[in-house]
Structure 1
Amino acid sequence: MDELKEIKKKFSVLRQKTRKGDIFQSLGPLMSDNLMTLPSQGTTPVVLPKNGEHALERFQTYDHQLDIRTEGMLDNIKVTTISDEDIQLAITQLANPLPKYRDTGAFLFLSDIIQNELISEDQLRLLTQRLVSDEQLFSHILEPENDGIYGRSFSILVLSLLLFTQRTKIHFMSADQMDLVINQVALYVALERDTRGFIGTNGWAHAFTHIGNVLAELFMMPQLMRADKLFLLASMLAGYRELKQPLMMGETERLVEVVIYAANAHELYADYILLTLKLWRKDLVTQRDLKTEAQWHQLYNRSRFFHEIILRGSQNVPKKLYDYAEQTKDYLT
């Protein structure tokens, strides 16, 4: 879609300017300006995966091997190669609204084979490439709430497992692939607007909790340059600023946990977070007469963010952030 291509270009320019040190204070507002120019999209049909039972059968053919691998009993047992086709099948089923096929099927299968190192480095790279593709990560993202959320959210969740593997076990990603991951994740966390947590009989969507997971992994990577971490942080905060639906199921707690980790890691991030909190308060000063449901959701999302900072305790939060949150808490309620 043309809108997605255009905002990708704009974010790419902002990332390069951040790397050069050309922008800092204006980074968040520039991101917000770009996000606000996106036109509203109409709803289009979401093509959901079929053959969930067939996929479960394929995943279950590996179950015995995964069980004995977990128990450390593989010394005399031939390892069955995980096929590329079954990996792709699992990627497809991440978009299944039914938790039987998505959670306990595809996600559990991918989690097991990644964490138990049952797939090759080539397959790890292939899996990463598929998960951060536009087709997977931005499917229906500019439209109103829809079933596309499952594929997007669980792609980010599996990506966090891959990043953990990259950080702690096998450095399988090339510099180019990591560069792509940063670009795609930064744009995703800025664009996602589906705040639903647990959805009826379909289980958890929880995109913003999964966003916290993937950002945590990226922030903990020592080889990632500081400017890229700042860019990711700014993207998430810019997206949070634009939310017009409530985060009610622990998502803000997870995001604040990750934000405070960054703030404690380097003063640069703490300074940027403080700028953002001041910007959010300025928004409210200039929009005192709240009339719409969306405006009230924005207010309470931000209020929960401030309160979560306070709840983490003054001993765990940089003083300037804690003090500012404490000073403004009554204003935001």
Structure 2
Amino acid sequence: MVVSKINEVRDQLHRLYQSFEMGEAFDTLPDQMTDLKLSLVYAARRTKVVPRTEGAVEDLQALLKKVSVDLINDENEDENKVDDETLMLLLKNSGSLNEAIRDRGIFFVVSGLMNRGLLQDEQIWPALQYLTSDEVLYDHILEPENDAVFGRSMAVLLCSVFLVADQIHGRVLTREQYWSVIEKIACYILLEQDARGYVPNYGWAHAFTHVGNVLSAMADSQLTRAQKLFFMTSVMVAYQQSTQSFSFGEDQRIANATLEVATKEPFYAKYLVRIFQVWPQRTPTDPRVSGVDFWVKWYNRTHYFLNLMVVPDIPQVLVDFIKKLPEY
């Protein structure tokens, strides 16, 4: 049942993209995507989350320590490259609820390998295929707030690392491969309802910040204009319709990432204004009626725009729109 619901959303999203790509939904896409977001039905109860891990914790800790030490000592680069089996073992444990293993272990090791150029060309696509598989990216996503968010969100963060690696390695992904990753993450962020930041005893959830990292990585990709605008729309619609307050820098990350896209050419900035125009129309307008929902969305919007306005090179068309916004 869950799989069929996710497939239904994915199919609807793909149809929206096909229409948008053909130029049939340029003005209406933000509204159509908002309709899709608001139509989502989530389960009333959560089921047991089994953390996504593999192998003994002690062995994994030893492996993380060894690779970390090698990176710090900057030993012979060829010797520091991880084999496919080792890399996949790290990815398969990225759903661990142990902050030291997940956030301060696996993420830092994989990003360290990327920064040092130690990932191999042929490792990038299989890693992204695993991280965007349904079992990983949509794990328990239709249920109330649950521990699977740490694995889902970490998968997105690691996707951003491998997308940056693709750019560093001279674009080893085909456009079709790259878009398949982005399209799945577009579906993910529309489905994701857990907007927690730092969670005591568990570490970072930070789903929206991590999606911002993907949006930033995508800005310089080989994707088409339609693909870039489509993904930016999905991120902005999800941000606009979040029912949770962002208090761990998500507003700043999303603002900076959208600007990285919007500043590529004037057309992108004009389209971002089109997304902005939908915002006040599709969120509560009266605090006396909507109460906390109004204030959550109003402050999320206000903080996003404030973060845009402090950027020196913000396109004037965005400034003009923001200055005309009413206080409420």
Does the TM-score normalized on the shorter chain lie above 0.5? yes
Displacement of 1:198 in angstroms is: 1.1
Q: For residues 52 and 285 of structure 1, what CA distance do their matches in structure 2 show?
A: 47
Letter aligned with residue 273 of structure 2: L
Contact (CA 8 Å) 2:71, 2:80: kept in 1 or not?
no
CA contact under 8 A between 2:99 and 2:203: conserved in structure 1?
A: yes
Q: Which position in structure 1 is the counterpart of 2:4?
A: 2
Query: Which of residues 72, 75, 79 is equivalent to 1:67?
Result: 72
TM-score, L = length of structure 2: 0.90
* Cα distance in structure 1, aligned partners of 2:83 and 2:165: 20
Counterpart pick for 1:47 among 50, 55, 65: 50
Q: Distance in 1 between matches of 2:5 and 2:172?
A: 32
1:248 Cα shift?
0.8
Matched, 1:331 2:295: no
Q: For residues 62 and 278 of structure 1, do their structure 2 counterparts lie closer, same or farther at Cα, with a shift above 3 Å needed? A: closer
**Matched residue, 2:105:** 105
**How many percent of aligned residue pairs carry the same amino acid?**
29
Partners of 1:215 and 1:258 within 8 A in 2: yes
1:316 is the counterpart of 2:313: yes
CA distance in 2, matches of 1:130, 1:284: 36
SS state at 1:282 partner? coil
Letter in 2 for 1:38: L
Question: What RMSD in Å do the two structures reach over aligned CA positions?
Answer: 2.1
Return the letter of the residue paired with 2:323. Answer: E
Q: Which residue of 1 aligns with 2:124?
A: 124
Query: Cα–Cα, structure 1 residues 54 and 270, in superposed 2: closer, same or farther, change >3 Å?
Result: same
For residues 61-210 of structure 1, the aligned pairs below 5 Å read 61-68=66-73, 70=74, 73-74=75-76, 79=79, 82-210=82-210
Structure 1 length-normalised TM? 0.89
Match of 2:27 in 1: 25
Secondary structure of the residue aligned to 1:265 is coil
2:252 aligns with 253
Q: Tell me what 1:283 maps to.
A: 282
8 Å CA contact retained: 1:307, 1:325: no
Q: 1:122 to 1:273 in 2, by over 3 A?
A: same
Aligned length: 323
Letter in structure 2 aligned against 1:24:
F
Q: Per-residue deviation at 1:81?
A: 5.9
Letter in 1 for 2:31: P
Q: What is the distance in 1 between the residues matched to 2:83 and 2:284?
A: 57
| Cα distance between partner residues in 1 of 2:315 and 2:112 | 37
Deviation at 1:49, TM superposition (A): 4.1
What letter matches 2:58 in structure 1? E
How far apart are the structure 1 equivalents of 2:146 and 2:187? Answer: 19
Report the Cα offset of residue 118 of structure 1: 3.2
Higher deviation after alignment, 244-253 or 114-123: 114-123
CA contact (8 A) 1:52 1:93 kept: no
Residue correspondence of structure 1 range 191-230 to structure 2 within 5 A:
191-221=191-221, 223-230=222-229
Stretch moving more, 246-255 or 160-169: 160-169
C-alpha distance in 1 between matches for 2:49 and 2:122? 30
Per-residue deviation, 1:309: 2.4
Residue segments in structure 1 that go unaligned for 5+ positions in a row: none
Match of 2:40 in 1: 38
